[in-house]
Amino acid sequence: MDTADTFGRWLRSLASGLEQDVDQLKALLTDPVKPGSVQVLPYVGYRNATALRVSGRVIEHQAPLSSAEGVLDKLRAMWTIYNSREVGGITVRCEADGVSATCVSDEEGYFAFDLAIDRPLPPRALWEHVTLSPPGLEPHLPLNVPVLAPGTDDHWGIISDIDDTVMETGATDFAANWRRIILEQPAERLAVPGAADLYRLIARDHAAPTRPFFYVSSSPWNLYGFLTQFMELNRIPHGPMFLKDLGIDAGKFIDAGHKGHKLDAVRTILRFYPEHRFLLMGDNGQQDVEIYAQVVSEFPQRIGAVFIRDVSGECGTGAKAAHLAEMARLGVQTYCAASFADGVSILRALDIDNPVEATRASGEGAAVAAGTEAG
Q: What is the pLDDT of residue 355?
A: 41
Q: In what order do the strands lie in the sheet with 143-149?
A: 99-104, 91-96, 126-133, 143-149, 38-47, 51-60, 110-116
The share of the chain scoring above pLDDT 90, in percent, equals 47
Question: Could you tell me the CA-to-CA distances from 252 to 80, 94, 245, 247, 261 in Å, in that order?
Answer: 21, 26, 6, 5, 9
Which position has the higher pLDDT, 65 or 194? 194
Q: Average of pLDDT values for 298-323?
A: 88
* Lowest mean pLDDT across 209-223, 257-271, 324-338, 344-358: 344-358
* 72: CB partners within 8 A, 6+ apart: none
Q: 139 preceded by cis ω (within 30°)?
A: yes
Please say whether the beta carbons of 140 and 133 come within 8 A. yes
Give the phi and the psi of residue 80 in degrees, each rounded to 5.
-60, -40
Residues facing residue 200 across a β-bridge: none
Q: What is the pLDDT of residue 135?
A: 87
Distance CA 368, CA 347 (A): 11
Q: What is the pLDDT of residues 155-184, one digit of tens each?
A: 889 999 999 999 998 755 656 656 666 667
Name the most confidently modeled range: 36-45, 249-258, 353-362, 364-373: 36-45
Q: What is the pLDDT of residue 232?
A: 93
Q: Average of pLDDT values for 54-59?
A: 95
Quick one: CA dihedral 71, 74, 78, 79, positive or negative? positive
**Range(s) within the chain of domains with CATH label 3.40.50.1000:** 156-368
Which position has the higher pLDDT, 295 or 313? 295
Q: Considering the chain, what is the average pLDDT of its residues?
A: 79
Q: What is the pLDDT of residue 204?
A: 79
Q: What is the pLDDT of residues 194-203, one digit of tens each?
A: 899 999 988 8
Q: Which CATH class is domain 35-149?
A: mainly beta
Q: What is the pLDDT of residues 255-310, one digit of tens each?
A: 456 689 999 999 999 999 999 999 999 999 889 999 999 999 999 999 989 999 99
Question: Could you tell me the CA-to-CA distances from 291 to 117, 164, 211, 259, 298 in Å, in that order?
Answer: 32, 16, 23, 6, 11
**Range(s) within the chain of domains with CATH label 2.60.40.10:** 35-149
Residues facing residue 130 across a β-bridge: 145
* 47: CB partners within 8 A, 6+ apart: 53, 117, 119, 121, 128, 147, 148, 149
Q: What is the pLDDT of residue 179?
A: 62
Place 34 in a pLDDT band, splitting at 50, 70 and 90.
low
Place 369 in a pLDDT band, splitting at 50, 70 and 90.
very low
* Lowest mean pLDDT across 6-15, 33-42, 200-209, 321-330: 6-15
Please say whether the beta carbons of 328 and 337 come within 8 A. no
> What is the SS3 string spanning the chain?
CCHHHHHHHHHHHHHHHHHHHHHHHHHHHCCCCCHHHEEEEEEEEEECCCEEEEEEEEEECCCCHHHCCHHHHHHHHHHHHHCCCECCCCEEEEEECCEEEEEECCCCCEEEEEEECCCCCCCCCEEEEEEEECCCCCCCCCEEEEEEECCCCCCEEEEECCECCCECCCCCCHHHHHHHHHHCCHHHCCECCCHHHHHHHHHCCCCCCCCCEEEEEEEEHHHHHHHHHHHHHCCCCCCCEEEECCCCCCCCCCCCCHHHHHHHHHHHHHHHCCCCEEEEEEECCCCHHHHHHHHHHHCCCCEEEEEEECCCCCCCCHHHHHHHHHHHHCCCEEEEECCCCCHHHHHHHHCCCCCCHHHHHHCCCEEECCCCCCC
Q: What is the pLDDT of residue 69?
A: 66
Distance CA 320, CA 208 (A): 35
Q: What is the pLDDT of residues 13-23, one digit of tens each?
A: 443 444 444 45
Q: What is the CATH number of domain 156-368?
A: 3.40.50.1000
Question: Could you tell me the CA-to-CA distances from 161 to 158, 186, 285, 287 in Å, in that order?
Answer: 10, 17, 11, 11
